[in-house]
Amino acid sequence: DTGVSQDPRHKITKRGQNVTFRCDPISEHNRLYWYRQTLGQGPEFLTYFQNEAQLEKSRLLSDRFSAERPKGSFSTLEIQRTEQGDSAMYLCASSFLGNTEAFFGQGTRLTVV
Binding site for another protein (CB under 8 A): 4, 31, 33, 35, 40-45, 48, 50, 55-56, 58, 91, 93, 95, 100-107, 109
72-96 burial by CB neighbour count: b if 16+ within 10 A, else e? eebbebebeebeeebbbbbbbbbbe
Cβ at position 4, least distance to another protein in Å: 8
Closest CB to another protein among residues 74, 104: 104
Rg of the chain over Cα atoms, rounded to whole angstroms, equals: 13
State which residue, 74 or 103, has the beta carbon closest to another protein. Answer: 103
Distance CA 39, CA 76 (A): 23
Taking the complex as a whole, how short is the minimal distance between the CB of residue 46 and another protein, in angstroms?
Answer: 9
